[in-house]
Amino acid sequence: MSMGLYNNESSFKPELSRRDLNVFIRVLNLSPAEQLAMDDLYSGYSESLIDKGGAVRAFVGQVLEESEVMQDTRLLVPAHKRLEEWGTESEAMKKAFIADLRSLLTGEQESRWHIVERELRRLKRMSAGRLAGESVDLIRMLEDYPAEVMRSPAIAPLLDRYSEELDRTLVARDRFVEANQAEFQPLIKSDPQQANDVFQEGRRLRGALAEVNAKFLRLIAAELPVSDAANLRNQVFDASYPALIRPTRTEDYLKEVQRLGSLTGEQGGAIKGIAAEYERDRRAWLEKAAVAAREHQLREVPEDLGKALGTIPDDEEHRNYELPPDHPVSRLRRERWELDKAAKGKVDAVLTPEQRDTVPDARPGTATFYDYTPWGL
């Protein structure tokens, strides 16, 4: 048994990153001098939070070590208490930074503060998605494009409309989940059909976010140069289907082979051609797999709900996240395996046995399984 007390990536860092400050700059139209003032406030907030958070981390680490050596979970009580206090303290520090920033604003800027709150809500809550496309944040993606893109007369009004519509849909989803989450599991036991109705409504609200993103992707891409539009579509696809784009061992193998210093010119040309063909086939497969994955997401229910409804066998051997061989997703996974196996075979035929032995294996002796059954709403 292992116990994690905090998130090592976020528990001791500012909730607002320096990149998030772009929201204030863009929405409030801060002048260079105002941006410098905001940067000074943020530096003070960030440095103080990291300094105090470091002390908390050290304290909790010591408690964890003692508890582990003594094999006594009761010794973790002080760590739980200190982390709870830290949560309150760090939130107060963030609020103080926001209050200090607002004190510098003009009346006109203050009148736009509700837009800032809307944008910050997007940054904080968009990652809570479950369906393909639900967690896509087009504004975040476009921030990496040249500044004139977001300010252009064609794109800027679209982003305002997108932000407003996304926020309404985001708030509706979160309110529904918060209102029904606690009672969902008991409802599965007492009234499975009602629980299913609740789950389906939650999924509808989640799907609405994906639909907002799909609609505005079309509208925004139509106003971008062809290359930028294609790049944005690819970014959205990758963000929507992270499990599909996760590199397979064959993808890693092809990259490592192309780095071999022992390849002859003839070998390098042959492998380059194999890799190009593989990439074309992979992209075609991704398009088909995305359709199947999306359809599966829209039919899948939590395993305990499926068992209560009688749509999933109620036996210990059945695991809902392991799909049957004839499932559309399983068939496409088999197709991907055949594609990978064929590509690797072609590459190995070009290499000498000695060269094959020198190709590094980035994941020796491990297998990663990333399917999961949805739980809760």
Specify the residue for token string 């002080």.
78
Q: Is residue 368 assigned to a domain?
A: no
Give the pLDDT confidence of 177-223 residue by residue, as tens digits. 999 999 999 999 999 999 999 999 999 999 999 999 999 999 999 99
Q: Which domain-ending residue is among 111, 128, 157? A: 111
Q: Is residue 371 assigned to a domain?
A: no
Per the structure, the count of domains in the chain is 3
Q: Which of 239, 222, 212, 17 is nearest to 141 (CA)?
A: 239
Q: The domain containing residue 212 runs over which residues?
A: 117-240
Task: Give yes or no: residues 293 and 215 share one domain.
Answer: no
Task: Give yes or no: residues 106 and 163 share one domain.
Answer: no
What CA–CA distance (Å, rounded) separates 359 from 362?
10
Task: Give yes or no: residues 159 and 62 share one domain.
Answer: no
Give the pLDDT confidence of 76-111 residue by residue, as tens digits. 999 999 999 999 999 999 999 999 999 999 999 999
Task: Give yes or no: residues 42 and 20 share one domain.
Answer: yes
The per-residue pLDDT of the chain, averaged, comes to: 91
Give the pLDDT confidence of 260-296 residue by residue, as tens digits. 999 999 999 999 999 999 999 999 999 999 999 999 9
Task: Give yes or no: residues 66 and 97 share one domain.
Answer: yes
Q: Is residue 365 assigned to a domain?
A: no
| Global confidence as pTM | 0.83
Crossing angle of the two packed helices 192-221 and 226-240, in degrees rounded to 10 = 160
Q: Which of 117, 154, 363, 134 is nearest to 240 (CA)?
A: 134
Task: Give yes or no: residues 83 and 131 share one domain.
Answer: no
